[in-house]
Amino acid sequence: MALVSQHNAKPLTMHILSNARTLYSTRRFFEEGYKRGHKMRVYPPMQMSAYLERNALELYYGDQQIETPHCIIPRLGQKKPEHTLAIIRHYEMMARLGSATTHVKSLNASHPMMRCRDKFVTMQVLAQNKIAVPRSVLIDDPLHIDTAFGKIGEPPYILKLPTGSQGTGVMIADSKTAARSFIETLIDQGLQVIVQEFIAEAAGADYRAIILNGNLIAAMRRQATGYDFRSNIHRGALAEKAELSIEAARTVKIAARILGLTFAGVDLIESKRGPMILEVNASPGLEGIEGASGVNVAEHVIEFLEQTIR
Ligand SMILES: Nc1ncnc2c1ncn2[C@@H]1O[C@H](COP(=O)(O)OP(=O)(O)O)[C@@H](O)[C@H]1O
Ligand SMILES: [Mg+2]
């Protein structure tokens, strides 16, 4: 692998937007971009402000104006998502100095990133497009608990917060009594709740697939450990390289395309009724997947950005 690729006659300026500078994924994008001769910068959107006036859009990091890059690698985490999205949108709308027609290329557009933050919105779009998802009900009032139980059937139930991630906000309730008390507590806290069928036959395993520009570039199978039913790496799940079935591979690629994401981590569960999409992540972590699959995901992303900008 050459350190500087032959595509790389002209180095690009790339901004990684991340509120967690020291995170593995942030470091990996930086490293691979730097190796290929690009000017890499990491900016935390939480510390940025956006200025506008008629025909001018500028970004500031503290009191320092930020130069307009060729492209951005936006990471949307749990911290201040609205502000992060506003900053990403600002970048998207900033014309490159000197030529008003070229815009800053974002690895993922802000609108699909916003949609995928919410699991229910994601599933609405997928279900509407005939993609299999677990049967789910969104409720916001304890009055609708019985309707939800009626639609889903007998327990156990999976309960989810629409914007949870890394396994927090995903619960299992073994009985209607337990489910009811969880749901009432969450709704009382001002939260919406997704009541979902439990896919027991998955036995604590799911698949994470990384899609880049419509291609499946890496996949792993994650298996929950201990008493957990959640197969998130952050919950201590074990990961191994995996081949997806033809149907699963097709499903994850279509899901990313329908949601409008160029770069996505798609979670898929194998059920008796075939593969189902659990969620689609617009800022998938790289550590688990690079380790398990042996694929240099960060390098693929940088190469893709080089190609789309030229
Ligand atoms: N309906 C379900 N049936 C069985 N297991 C599930 C179901 N939904 C989620 N899980 C398990 O919980 C994990 C986390 O759920 P997910 O929807 O991906 O939320 P998060 O954003 O927290 O990762 C999944 O990876 C899977 O192992
Ligand atoms: Mg997940």
**Cross-strand partners of 218:** 210
Number of domains into which the chain is organized: 3
In this structure, the number of other CB atoms found within 10 A of the CB of residue 55 comes to 7
| Distance in Å, CA 155 to ligand 2 centroid | 21
* Sheet strand arrangement including 64-65: 48-53, 56-61, 64-65
Decide whether any atom of ligand 1 lies within 6 Å of the 278 Cβ. Answer: yes
Which residue is associated with the tokens 């619960």? 171
Decide whether any atom of ligand 1 lies within 6 Å of the 196 Cβ. Answer: yes
Which protein residue's CA is at the shortest distance from atom 13 of ligand 1? 230
In the predicted structure, residue 114 carries a pLDDT above the cut 80: yes
Question: How far is it, in rounded angstroms, from Cα 301 to Cα 286?
Answer: 11
**Do 218 and 246 belong together in one domain?**
yes
- pLDDT value at position 3? 43
Which protein residue's CA is at the shortest distance from atom 21 of ligand 1? 165
pLDDT tens sequence across 42-70: 999 999 999 999 889 999 999 999 999 99
**Do 208 and 185 belong together in one domain?**
no
| Distance in Å, CA 147 to ligand 2 centroid | 26
In the predicted structure, residue 2 carries a pLDDT above the cut 80: no
**Do 161 and 227 belong together in one domain?**
no
Range of the domain at 160: 136-198
Decide whether any atom of ligand 1 lies within 6 Å of the 162 Cβ. Answer: no
Give the SS3 label for residue 256.
helix
**Do 103 and 172 belong together in one domain?**
no
In the predicted structure, residue 184 carries a pLDDT above the cut 70: yes
How would residue 98 be classed by pLDDT, with cut points 50, 70 and 90? low
**Cross-strand partners of 56:** 53
How would residue 269 be classed by pLDDT, with cut points 50, 70 and 90? very high
CA distances to 164, 197, 264 from 156, in Å: 20, 8, 30
**Do 124 and 231 belong together in one domain?**
yes
pLDDT tens sequence across 280-298: 999 999 999 999 999 999 9
**Do 99 and 248 belong together in one domain?**
no
**Do 228 and 126 belong together in one domain?**
yes
Task: For residue 287, tell me if it sits in a domain.
Answer: no
CA distances to 35, 147, 224, 256 from 239, in Å: 28, 37, 9, 22
- pLDDT value at position 101? 56
| Distance in Å, CA 118 to ligand 2 centroid | 12
pTM, rounded to two decimals = 0.94
